[in-house]
């Protein structure tokens, strides 16, 4: 082994004979003040001290005289002493510079990403990043990576999109993603739930509403969209003067609350029926005309019970109870009821009918009408009912 004495002007060779170190001859090293001078051959020096007169002066070049080696000097500092055991192993070399980059793969939903080629460092071929997980794969910098994703990985789920790729493609039922890992990169693959539509139709003569998860129907048709396999609960609420008649496509059919499971696009129908209106129409009677004559104007006003109704009169009768007086002063009562020949339809909010009657026709020849109490009987609404107005009296002048 060659050694260089950093604290002196010598260099040489030491040898290890299997048990101990043995020092060889030393040489004078390179003279830094004279670049043309190399190593000198060994010289024999005596230990006889020189007198000051014998000490040579500095050389013309200004180089100081070299110092002789110390008597019985061992190997230079830092080298093993002759006869010492061999040294142990030295320190480990520093690691090579990091020339890898991290590829982060995120999977959202019930899908998976496969490292098709090449395999990540320290991972087997075909390494898979599973559903709803994040994986950290390391590759040598500059590696071109191909990832594969199944389009339908789990029932009820479908591949939606992938981000972070340099390019994408489709091969059969697989989506591919390629990129170069020149630095830290992230790829995110997303799977979404399959959805199905629910259409609700309100049928029948009545009115009502339907409500459910994310659904509110007040018109005749409404729609909602749900994840496949979702069970939706629907509730029917009949409107005023309406009854719930049942469901079609929802179970149980006879209950106001039913459930439907959306394995496919589904249609549901609910039926409401209008209840009979037993409230008679509101009618009023007004009497007019000359109090001194026998002609009397009678007006019937019919008003529907509410704004939803249309009143159909099935019969209207004008009646009177009165008194006729003979020339001898005898008074004779009379009664009559005159039906309407053509009952009208009176629409909301109200309508009216008018008759002009000659009440004298109710008296016998030679008699004059003295007084009469008129009334109206009106039968029928859209579902039925009868009402009668209070009697109104009219007195006729002599």
The full set of domain ranges for the chain reads 1-42+69-77, 100-193, 195-274, 282-393
Confidence (pTM): 0.47
Percent of the chain with pLDDT over 70: 54
Of 371, 346, 241, 223, the closest CA to residue 294 belongs to 371
121 pLDDT above the threshold of 90 = yes
Core vs surface per residue 71-85: b (16+ CB within 10 A) or e? eeeebbeebbeeeee
pLDDT attached to residue 351? 54
**N residues, the chain:** 398
Backbone angles phi, psi at 144, to 5 degrees: -90, 125
100-193 and 282-393: identical CATH topology: yes
Angle (CA) 291-297-303 rounded to 5° is 130
CATH code, 282-393: 2.60.40
CATH code, 100-193: 2.60.40
8 pLDDT above the threshold of 80 = no
51 pLDDT above the threshold of 70 = no
pLDDT attached to residue 42? 46
**Mean pLDDT along residues 57-80:** 50
**Mean pLDDT along residues 300-327:** 64
pLDDT attached to residue 107? 96
291 pLDDT above the threshold of 80 = no
CB 398, CB 327: distance < 8 Å? no
Query: What sign for the dihedral angle of Cα 161, 167, 170, 171?
Result: negative
Q: Which residues sit opposite 373 in a β-bridge?
A: 321, 393
297 pLDDT above the threshold of 80 = no
Core vs surface per residue 334-361: b (16+ CB within 10 A) or e? beeeeebeebeebeeeebebeeebebee
pLDDT attached to residue 334? 81
**Mean pLDDT along residues 121-139:** 94
61 pLDDT above the threshold of 70 = no
279 pLDDT above the threshold of 70 = no
């Amino acid at each position: 082994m060659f050694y260089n004495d950093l604290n002196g002007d010598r260099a040489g060779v030491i040898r290890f004979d299997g048990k101990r170190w043995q020092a060889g001859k030393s040489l004078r090293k390179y003279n830094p003040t004279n670049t043309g001078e190399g190593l000198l051959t060994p010289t024999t020096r005596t230990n006889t001290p020189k007198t000051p007169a014998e000490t040579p002066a500095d050389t013309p070049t200004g180089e100081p005289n070299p110092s002789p080696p110390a008597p019985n000097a061992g190997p230079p500092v830092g080298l093993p002493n002759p006869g010492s055991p061999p040294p142990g192993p030295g320190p480990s070399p520093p690691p090579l510079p990091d020339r890898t980059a991290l590829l982060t793969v995120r999977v959202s939903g019930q899908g998976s990403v496969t490292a098709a080629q090449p395999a990540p460092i320290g991972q087997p071929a075909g390494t898979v990043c599973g559903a709803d997980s994040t994986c950290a794969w390391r590759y040598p910098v500059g590696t071109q990576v191909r990832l594969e994703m199944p389009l339908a990985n789990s029932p009820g789920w479908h591949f939606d999109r992938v981000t972070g790729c340099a390019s994408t493609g489709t091969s059969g039922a697989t989506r591919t993603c390629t990129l170069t890992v020149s630095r830290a990169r992230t790829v995110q693959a997303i799977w979404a739930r399959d959805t199905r539509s629910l259409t609700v139709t309100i049928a029948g003569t009545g009115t009502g509403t339907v409500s459910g998860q994310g659904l509110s129907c007040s018109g005749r048709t409404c729609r909602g969209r749900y994840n496949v396999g979702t069970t939706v609960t629907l509730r029917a609420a009949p409107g005023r003067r309406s009854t719930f008649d049942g469901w079609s496509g929802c179970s149980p059919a006879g209950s106001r609350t039913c459930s439907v499971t959306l394995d496919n696009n589904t249609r549901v129908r609910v039926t409401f029926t209008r209840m009979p209106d037993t409230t008679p129409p509101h009618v009023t009677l007004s009497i007019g005309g000359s109090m001194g004559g026998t002609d009397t104007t009678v007006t019937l006003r019919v008003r529907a019970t509410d704004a939803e109704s249309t009143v159909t009169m099935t019969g209207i009768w004008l009646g009177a109870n009165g008194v006729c007086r003979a020339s001898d002063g005898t008074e004779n009562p009379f009664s009559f009821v005159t039906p309407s020949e053509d009952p009208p339809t009176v629409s909301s909010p109200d309508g009216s009918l008018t008759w002009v009657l000659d009440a004298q026709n109710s008296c016998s020849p030679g008699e004059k009408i003295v007084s009469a109490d008129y009334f109206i009987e009106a039968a029928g609404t859209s579902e039925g009912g009868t009402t009668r107005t209070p009697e109104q009296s009219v007195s006729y002048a002599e």
